[in-house]
């Protein structure tokens, strides 16, 4: 079985159902994941630098790497694990945060 990292750089994955998937080490740089379902997905070491996660559902996902400049506007992040994640420049407009509160910081 090939264990190479998944390369989804510039991929159009809008609205895709990726819940529960093991996406460890995946490269989603500049990928469009708007409206995607990533509930309980393992995104450990996944590069979500500059990814579009607008309206995405990451409930219970593990996102422990780069989310630099990611667009998380109106995303649902309840119980998402961001321990050790780099969120530098990430946008959180109308985002339901991991603690259940709505963030309007970047609106």
pLDDT tens, residue by residue, 23-73 = 999 999 999 999 999 999 999 999 997 999 999 999 999 998 999 999 999
Q: What proportions of the chain, in percent to the nearest 5, are helix, strand and coil?
A: 0, 20, 80
3-state SS class at 51: coil
Structural domains of the chain, with CATH: 21-101 (2.160.20.80)
Mean model confidence pLDDT for the chain: 93
| 16 vs 93: CA distance, rounded Å | 22
* Banded model confidence at residue 100, pLDDT cuts 50, 70, 90: confident
Q: 3-state DSSP call for residue 8?
A: coil
Whole-model pTM? Answer: 0.91
Q: Quick check: 82 pLDDT over 80?
A: yes
């Amino acid at each position: 079985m090939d264990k190479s990292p998944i390369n989804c750089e510039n991929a159009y994955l809008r609205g895709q159902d990726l819940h529960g998937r093991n996406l460890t080490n995946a490269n989603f740089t500049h990928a469009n994941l708007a409206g995607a379902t990533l509930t309980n997905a393992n995104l450990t070491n996944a590069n979500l630098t500059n990814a579009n996660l607008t309206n995405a559902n990451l409930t219970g996902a593990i996102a422990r790497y780069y989310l630099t400049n990611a667009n998380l506007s109106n995303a649902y992040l309840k119980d998402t694990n961001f321990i050790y994640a780099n969120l530098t420049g990430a946008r959180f407009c109308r985002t339901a945060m991991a603690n259940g509160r709505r963030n309007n910081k970047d609106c």
